[in-house]
Amino acid sequence: MHTYLIKKYFRALGMCGLASLGSMGISHAQAPDTSGMAPVKHRDTTLVGNPLATVVVSAFEQTRKLSDQPAPVAYLSGAALGRYGVTGILSAMNAVPGVRMEQRSPGSYRLNIRGSSLRSPFGVRNVKVYYNGMPLTEPGGNTYLNQLSFSDYGSLEIIKGPAGSIYGAGTGGVVLIHSPLYNDTAKGSKAVVNLDGGSYGLRKIGASVRWGGNGAASELRYTDLKTDGYRDHTALHSRIASFETRLQKNDRGQLDAFFHYTDLFYETPGGLTFSQYEADPKSARPAAGPFPSADQNKAAVYQKAFFMGLKRSYRFSSHLENTTVLYGSYTDFTNPTIFNYEYRKEPHFGGRTVFQYHYHGPKTRTRLWLGAEVRQGFFSVKDLQNMQGSPGAPMTDDRIDDLTALLFAQAELSFTHGWDLTGGVSANHEDLRFTRLYPVQARPFHKTYPVVLSPRIALSKKLTPDILLYADVSRGFSPPSVAELLPSTTVLNKHLQAEQGINYEVGSKGRLVGGRLYYDVSAFVFHLTQSISQRRDSSGADYFVNAGSALHKGLEAAFTYRLYQNGHAFISRADAWGSGSLMDFRYEDYRVADKDYSHQKIPGTAPFTAAAGVDIDTRLRLQAHLTWQHTASIPLNDGNSVSASPYDLLGCRLSYGGKLAKKTDFVLSAGGDNLLGETYSLGDDVNASGGRYYNVAPGINFYTNLQIRFLF
């Protein structure tokens, strides 16, 4: 058995090398483009190609070095995102311990941070997402992460666990996305063209233009992506355009604006039973009983979205500053399914403001934050019969008005001898109005959630200038989202309650071995009450129930190590990195009718994950990235009677860059994923009726990318 696995690994490495050489040896892990990156005051920064360089993050509104942040915060630079293929961030996210990004089909994403995706049959819920400080998450709790293209990501910060003291509702965590322009202060103008191709009919054209300098800069980006999909009925076509601009007249103030448009189409194949998965894992869901197949009903998503935001930062004095954002968003979502034909129109708008005061005394440093966030949504949801891909007779017509608001305050005290204390609390309010207009106009359902306080306190100690030890206690809560109150069954669940919990965490991070080794280790215990769990009926429609109390226990670790560095040698730099997580998530008290699921493992979360890789640079602008990810067996239902098989993913990427002219350069890249040829599911449907749990992921696949950059 061991001999077979060794041969399989070497065969996969050989395939990667042949594919790369066939494309002329090949690529820089550089999409999105991050050339010329330099430190920016009050922003997260890293030096590309040096993962041990100082990184400053903005989690919890604190501008700190990552190694000084007393919280479970992970950071993905542009270089880390570009370590894999250039069509998405999924693989990079799955290398972060405690994080699992899932894909049921191209364009259909879920994000699981410490078990948060149990409530997400599709999309991102129970995780708050911001883009350049502007809320992407709707007031109803849903985030369309698929409306961003890969070129819209400059870097990512991931806060794991409850972060309600600053960001409001959500027990899963927070994702802070920063655009390429947000990170980059390089002067001058440039145009970049990206051409991509790969397995399963992948073809992508991308272009960007950046201009400006001396305090003002703008960038326009466009991406057109098509793929035939790796399963039957999984084609995708997305067209995404973004424009952002930054104006900084002096050190006191800065104005940012962002405009974004998405036109997205992707087919949804549906889940398979185990026998169907074994017979033909690439097939779409077949017809069964009264329900047609996914292909017969033309199951798909047609999604158009527009988002715009303004951000104003101003320093009143050396001690007081303010950042305010205003945004507006509109999503037109059409979704023919096996069960129905749904239209959703979701306009929403809002804003966020944060005042910061800081004072440096002789023995202490004090920083205070006071802020507020308000979001208002006016949603329309219509469900009709699906007549083989065409809308039929109306079933329901609903209106949902959702207002969420939070006030928050935070204080940070830094003392002598390396002690630091941070405390924060938010007061959260939600007002939900639901009106059914058809088939019978009913009295509006009005629910106002009581004001919920969400506190957090963190204590840290610098054991040495390079090693931090911290303890963190936080209370999180998460009311049911609009999509959970009104799921695809179209039955309003008036009795679904908010889940709440307390998280206890200890951790350590810092540098060892003369700064060559960076590590981050944390352990947590999260006690959750009224936890919300997803279920599916025979048609595949989802619904949700409160699953009593649950206990989440976990251990997470990550490291980066500089193996070698010599600017005069052929191999100028070599880095090794790795991460892993151990999770024990169980129901404490959960009974359904005559079934007792107490002490069973919570489905949808892997008890063990690991990832590792090696990054190599040479003097000749040739780079190599070798990556490996392991996921243990995942329980798929509350009774733990069915589990997904474990799997290992091996990938590699090679890149080569050079000059075409004095002010024109190029990067040519090629790589492969799943080189071991694993058959696995990356997006299981937990608690699915009829055992339709499985959605197969891509098999062995290859990609190439050509990037040409023109400097002006």
Q: Using CA atoms, how far apart are residues 671 and 620, in angstroms rounded to an integer?
A: 19
Q: Using CA atoms, how far apart are residues 472 and 520, in angstroms rounded to an integer?
A: 15
Q: Using CA atoms, how far apart are residues 514 and 359, in angstroms rounded to an integer?
A: 33
Other beta carbons less than 10 A from residue 547's beta carbon: 24
Query: pLDDT band at residue 589, thresholds of 50, 70 and 90?
Result: confident
pLDDT of 171 reads 87
- The bridge status of strand 445-464 relative to strand 517-529 is unpaired
Residues whose CB falls within 8 Å of the CB of residue 320, separated by 6 or more in sequence, listed in order: 355, 356, 357
pLDDT of 541 reads 63
What are the tens digits of pLDDT across the range 487-540?
766 677 777 777 888 999 999 999 999 889 999 999 999 998 877 766 666 555
Q: Using CA atoms, how far apart are residues 546 and 118, in angstroms rounded to an integer?
A: 12
Q: Where are the strands (E) in 439-483, listed by range?
A: 445-464, 467-478
Q: Using CA atoms, how far apart are residues 281 and 247, in angstroms rounded to an integer?
A: 51
Angle at the Cα of 361 from the Cα atoms of 360 and 365, rounded to 5 degrees: 50
Tell me: pLDDT of 600 over 60: yes
* DSSP string over 653-697: EEEEEEEEETTEEEEEEEEEE-TT----BSS--TT-GGG--B-BP
Q: Which of 79-88, 218-227, 425-434 has the lowest mean pLDDT?
A: 79-88
Please give the average per-residue pLDDT across 209-228, as a whole number.
91
What are the tens digits of pLDDT across the range 274-327?
999 999 999 999 998 888 999 999 999 999 999 999 999 999 999 999 999 999
Other beta carbons less than 10 A from residue 664's beta carbon: 12
Closest to 414 in 3D by CA, of 370, 488, 372, 359: 359
